[in-house]
């Protein structure tokens, strides 16, 4: 078992509160986000759902400061995300994308420990943290010297998760992290993620197209359409108390009555 005291030695312990206040994003003359407001409770997982192009991934990139909003604000731990604060705040945010987003010219260990090296962690700090995360994600040490193209999609996702957790962030952003995986591997990773979320108590924002995945991992679900929030609530809220015809159509398109 991983001792919580050991994890606490690296960065923040508790999940961050995330506040998104009237965020508008305009890219290439098109309004991608239309006044989004959300509060993500510390230590919870919020799942963003919706069809392709609805603004889910843009919202995630705005939270981490890769996209600057035209108006509105994002605060993390009560600190405003801005050009001036983005470098500092990103050290408290883990970011995991579809297919891992690993650097192909670095082996798996180099991918995982890259940021710690740039921040001048000592070799012993890096080694101890790596050992903790190998146990947490159930990864084999023998794989670490391989390159991303030499391992499976599921293994790349585990490595990407290790990298996103390495600095012990208070906020984890997951952008379709299992979208390209086959159903069996995807189900296994969902179980592992749920266990990891529970152990670490981090704040998690997950982007997914899959309602059953959102329901399994998220305490709160947000359904988006064309840059706006259509409904936020529990899975049962969306199924039993839809606020819009689109909500019902989305649920039916996923055969949610059977899946959930």
Mean pLDDT along residues 27-42:
96
Model-level pTM?
0.87
Give CA–CA dist 26/142, Å, rounded.
46
SS in 3 state form for 39-101? EECCCCEEEEECCCCCCHHHHHHHHCCCCCCCEEEEEECCEECCCCCHHHHHCCEEEEECCCC
Q: Which of the four pLDDT bands, split at 50, 70 and 90, describes residue 199? A: confident
Over residues 128-173, the pLDDT tens digits come to 999 999 988 888 899 999 999 999 888 888 899 899 999 999 999 9
CA distance 109 to 217: 27
- Reported confidence tier of residue 14, pLDDT bands at 50, 70, 90: confident
Percent of the chain with pLDDT over 90: 63
Q: Give the range of the structural domain holding residue 185, as residue numbers without chain letter.
A: 4-259
- Asked if residue 16 has pLDDT above 70, the reply is yes
Q: What is the pLDDT of residues 208-256, one digit of tens each?
A: 988 989 999 999 999 999 999 999 999 999 999 999 999 999 988 886 5
* Structural domains of the chain, count: 1
Residue 202: give its domain's CATH number. Answer: 3.40.50.300
Highest averaged pLDDT of the listed ranges 50-59, 134-143, 176-185: 50-59
Helices (H), the chain: 4-8, 56-63, 86-90, 108-118, 123-137, 153-165, 183-200, 211-217, 235-240, 245-253, 256-259
Judge whether residue 97 has pLDDT over 90.
Answer: no
Q: Residue 35 contacts by C-beta under 8 Å, 6 or more apart in sequence?
A: 22, 23, 24, 72, 228
């Amino acid at each position: 078992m991983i001792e919580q005291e050991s994890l606490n030695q690296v960065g923040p312990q508790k999940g961050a509160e995330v506040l998104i206040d009237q965020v508008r994003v305009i890219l290439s003359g098109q309004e991608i986000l239309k006044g989004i407001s959300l509060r993500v409770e510390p230590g919870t997982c919020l799942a963003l759902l919706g069809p392709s192009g609805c603004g889910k991934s843009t919202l995630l990139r705005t939270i981490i400061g890769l996209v600057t909003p035209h108006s509105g604000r994002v605060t993390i731990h009560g600190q405003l995300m801005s050009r001036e604060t983005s470098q500092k705040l990103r050290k408290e945010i883990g970011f995991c994308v579809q297919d891992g987003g690993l650097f192909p010219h670095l082996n798996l260990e180099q991918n995982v420990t890259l940021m710690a090296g740039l921040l001048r962690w000592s070799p012993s700090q890096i080694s101890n943290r790596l050992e903790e995360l190998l146990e947490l994600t159930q990864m084999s040490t023998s794989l670490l010297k391989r390159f991303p193209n030499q391992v499976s999609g599921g293994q790349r996702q585990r490595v990407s998760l290790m990298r996103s957790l390495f600095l012990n962030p208070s906020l984890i952003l997951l952008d379709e992290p299992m979208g390209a995986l086959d159903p069996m591997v995807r189900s296994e990773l969902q179980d592992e993620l749920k266990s990891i979320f529970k152990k670490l108590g981090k704040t998690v924002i997950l982007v997914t197209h899959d309602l059953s995945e959102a329901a399994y991992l998220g305490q709160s679900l947000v359904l988006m359409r064309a840059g706006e929030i259509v409904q936020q609530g529990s899975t049962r809220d969306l199924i039993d108390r839809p606020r819009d015809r689109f909500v019902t159509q989305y649920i039916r398109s996923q055969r949610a009555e059977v899946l959930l």
